[in-house]
Structure 1
Amino acid sequence: MGLKAENVFKPGAYPKYTYVSRNYEDTGISYELRLKQALRTAGCLTSLIGPSKMGKTILCEKVIGFENIVEVSGADFNGEMDFWAVVAAKVGLPYAGEITTEREAAEEYSTERDSRNEKFVLSKDKVIQYYKENDKVLVIDDFHYASQEMQMKMAQQLKDAIRRELKVVVVSLPHRSDDAIRQNADLSGRLSLINIEAWKEEDLKEIALKGFKQLNMTITETVAEKLAVECLTSPQLMQYICLSICILLEDKNEETVCAEILETAYKFTTVNFNYYDVVNVMAKGPNTRGKRRNLYRTKSGKELDLYGLIVESFAKNPPEMELDFENIYNRITQLIEEEVKVPDKQSVKNHLNNLQLILKEKEEIYRAIEWKDGKVYILDPLFLFYLRWGRTHE
């Protein structure tokens, strides 16, 4: 039997047939070799940092192996959670509990026995010993999900753990900077820093070409290049889109990936992504408390306030994951009808500040963008893809 599309294109799992190796910072050395080097350097903590949906976890799975990797999330920790209790639980160690012990009564010839309960707490040394003896590597994914206070506590625990040669990889986003790790004086000289760069179009294109070849389906270099642009530097998004294409073509009993199917595939892919509420919160902005907002007529005939215009500006061509303020402002003015007075720059900045405050107070999924140092960082390529294809836009 031939391979099925879902075996080849795997957005949420290790992509055995479409894994693409990349070079580390144009050194000619692969990311895989760089991570192996870091893990084999005793007494060092590995800090893996890069944009969302860039394959950081997949890289760890490739190098470390499923049987050796122990993955936790920053979200697994809070102010009340014992760091070592979480780390122990992930490998099934009973970190704390009660045991029942029995002893014989003191009287001669007595067969009576007393029982008593004793509480125990496994020491962190025992947990570290287990990890070392079983060749386990602790991978703390989404380190930025932990609170700032918890990040500092974790950094303190990790300092001693790596000295005892526990192998640890901390994975984080670049603009949610893991200062607790990278700027911790106690960890100075004990860090192996690996920056994961955004994927280049030529590497993303390789995912499509390899995958469709495995399925004996035809795709041209030109079509693969179009896919590489639209997947917004994300290999995961490329996997999603290619799988959608396969399902659409199977329904038509066709085996050629033509340019005409791409837009349908993009829209079809967005049904997997639940960003409807995120977009609504951003477009709505803060509570107006009865005040009317200025509306601007757009070239497409819509009437939008400034929050709506900001959201629309993100979706415009060309798709970009980082937008400086001038770029955002120009996109907004291009959306508005020519005879309509455009908002001033300070007003746009104020709205971006308000938007940042709103999203910061919401759940993690709402924090899809970050306005920082005069730039908007779109943290999640799947969110931007949804903006472009999952809704009506300019």
Structure 2
Amino acid sequence: MNVSDVFGINSEVRLESYVDRGDLDTAIGKLLVRNTHIALKGESKCGKSWLRQKNLPNAIVVQCRLGRGAIDIYVDALSQLGVSFVVSDTTTGKIEGRVEATGAVGEGLLSKVFGLTGSASASAGASRESIQGKGVVGRDINDLRYVAELIRESRRHLVVEDFHYLSVEERRKLAFDLKALWDYGLYVVIIGVWSQSNLLIYLNPDLTGRIEEVSVYWSTDDLKGVLDTGGAALNLRFNAEFADELANLSYGNAGILQTLTIRALDALEIVTAPRTSVEIADKEAIQTAALHYADQLNALYQQFAKRVARGVRTRKDSTGIYAHAMAVIMDASDELSIRGIPLDYIFRIANEREPRIQKGNLRTILEKLEGLQVDEAGRGLVVAYNEADGEVSIVDRQVLLYRRFSTVSWPWEELIEEAGFDS
């Protein structure tokens, strides 16, 4: 067996190093048989997708992307069932909602839901009649009923991944749709990165009692369990000090642990499982792995810094506040970054540097921080602001390892000088 069959970042779950941390498999299993939506939240690369694959192997999975909305989610989901969801009739200008079978599976679903028979081209109006002049398919309650019936009839769960890539408005729209889908007996699994507790209920209070939020996080013992499980599969025994060092440098993140582990084994020139049990104890291999990992992350976070700086420069009236806020956030201790950086802490440090910064203005800046970070595809979120708790969280913990093992040059001080603020 190759080391890469067990350790490393993989798009598909690796059962040899999979750990049911905190009995989440059991918790998810209970929720899946109940009449409830499920929201899985956790920072980037914390294992949300593996958890989903392990517990929902045959799900309809829709990936959110920047610029997409709730309707696109339904179109994507139905297309995976062999059903074409026609949103509009461009020839007449009328907004219509109808579904058409594009294969045998889709034809079977339409037959069951609409009572249709015949060829795969058979179609049915999703709302029985065209919607003219106003409204959009998927926003009308009747349209959602047919979408829900078709997916429910497939006997598969609908999973919406990367929820955080939707715009704020589309998140709110989907949150309201979830109430209607619950009424129609379709229970959805939402997966994404957010720091706010019960975000979807915050977006739509009517979801109270209709959705369960599950946080995906790792204790040190859970991370060591990954090493024990994966090591056993490879005939490797990780020394206690070696395991402690790997876990500490992983910042509570399974993805970082997986990457550091395979790179450390590379440094030790262990590519395949040895015939007899081998103890892994050389901690210098971890340092080598971390330095190599940080070097590869350099391009990622320098691009992040450039995006933020470019976005800040377009906001001339608040350039100094943005820059001071970013400086405080990115200089916060590891412990504070993981636990959450309070608004009061950011204000205290920023205000000491520049007395003209006011807490109200700083709060407004933090609420807009997310939009500065993501690229054209909506990817690249590193820090997030929780309006409810008034805290900034590091949602991409790789940046903590990066700044520890690299000489980081952030553009914040330059931005402060450009704005005419004295540091």
Shared fold (TM-score greater than 0.5)?
yes
Q: Within the alignment, does 1:167 sit opposite 2:187 as a pair? A: yes
Q: 2-side partners of 1:263 and 1:85: how far apart?
A: 47
Q: 1-side partners of 2:399 and 2:9: how far apart?
A: 15
What corresponds to 1:53 in structure 2?
A: 45
What corresponds to 1:343 in structure 2?
A: 353
1:252-275 Cα offsets, whole Å, 9 max, x none, are: 999634111212101222355422
Q: 2-side partners of 1:126 and 1:133: how far apart?
A: 10
Percent identity of paired positions between Structure 1 and Structure 2: 22
Asked if the contact 1:230/1:319 (under 8 Å) is kept, the reply is no
205-214 vs 152-161, which moves further: 152-161
What corresponds to 2:238 in structure 1?
A: 219
Q: Within the alignment, does 1:34 sit opposite 2:6 as a pair? A: no
Q: Within the alignment, does 1:89 sit opposite 2:79 as a pair? A: yes
Asked if the contact 2:46/2:255 (under 8 Å) is kept, the reply is yes
What corresponds to 2:21 in structure 1?
A: 22
What corresponds to 1:287 in structure 2?
A: 313
Seen in structure 2, the aligned counterparts of structure 1 residues 359 and 73 have a Cα distance that, compared at 3 Å, is same
Asked if the contact 1:85/1:95 (under 8 Å) is kept, the reply is yes
Q: 1-side partners of 2:310 and 2:366: how far apart?
A: 10
Match of 1:377 among 393, 414, 417: 393
Seen in structure 2, the aligned counterparts of structure 1 residues 352 and 218 have a Cα distance that, compared at 3 Å, is farther
Q: Which runs of 5+ in 2 are unaligned?
A: 87-98, 102-120, 127-142, 411-423
**Two-structure CA RMSD over aligned residues (Å):** 4.1
Question: Residue 78 of structure 1: SS of its match in structure 2?
Answer: coil
Asked if the contact 2:46/2:217 (under 8 Å) is kept, the reply is yes
Q: 2-side partners of 1:378 and 1:222: how far apart?
A: 27
Seen in structure 2, the aligned counterparts of structure 1 residues 206 and 329 have a Cα distance that, compared at 3 Å, is farther
Q: Within the alignment, does 1:64 sit opposite 2:56 as a pair? A: yes
Q: 2-side partners of 1:147 and 1:312: how far apart?
A: 25
What corresponds to 1:194 in structure 2?
A: 213
Alignment of 1:1-394 (within 5 A): 3-13=1-11, 14-23=13-22, 30-42=23-35, 44-65=36-57, 68-75=58-65, 78=68, 81-96=71-86, 127-175=147-195, 179-181=199-201, 184-191=204-211, 193-250=212-269, 256-273=280-297, 274-281=300-307, 286-287=312-313, 309-310=327-328, 313-314=331-332, 320-321=337-338, 322-324=340-342, 343=353, 357=368, 359-363=370-374, 364-371=378-385, 375-392=391-408
359-368 vs 322-331, which moves further: 322-331
Q: If the length of structure 1 is used for normalisation, what is the TM-score?
A: 0.71
Deviation at residue 222 of structure 1 after TM alignment: 1.4
- Highest Rg: 1 or 2? 1
Q: If the length of structure 2 is used for normalisation, what is the TM-score?
A: 0.67
Deviation at residue 250 of structure 1 after TM alignment: 1.5
Q: 2-side partners of 1:329 and 1:124: how far apart?
A: 45
Q: 1-side partners of 2:246 and 2:48: how far apart?
A: 21
Asked if the contact 2:308/2:373 (under 8 Å) is kept, the reply is no
1:212-234 Cα offsets, whole Å, 9 max, x none, are: 33222342111111111111111
Asked if the contact 2:162/2:191 (under 8 Å) is kept, the reply is yes
1:176-234 Cα offsets, whole Å, 9 max, x none, are: 5664445524333322x133153111111111232233222342111111111111111
What corresponds to 1:302 in structure 2?
A: none
Question: Residue 46 of structure 2: SS of its match in structure 1?
Answer: coil
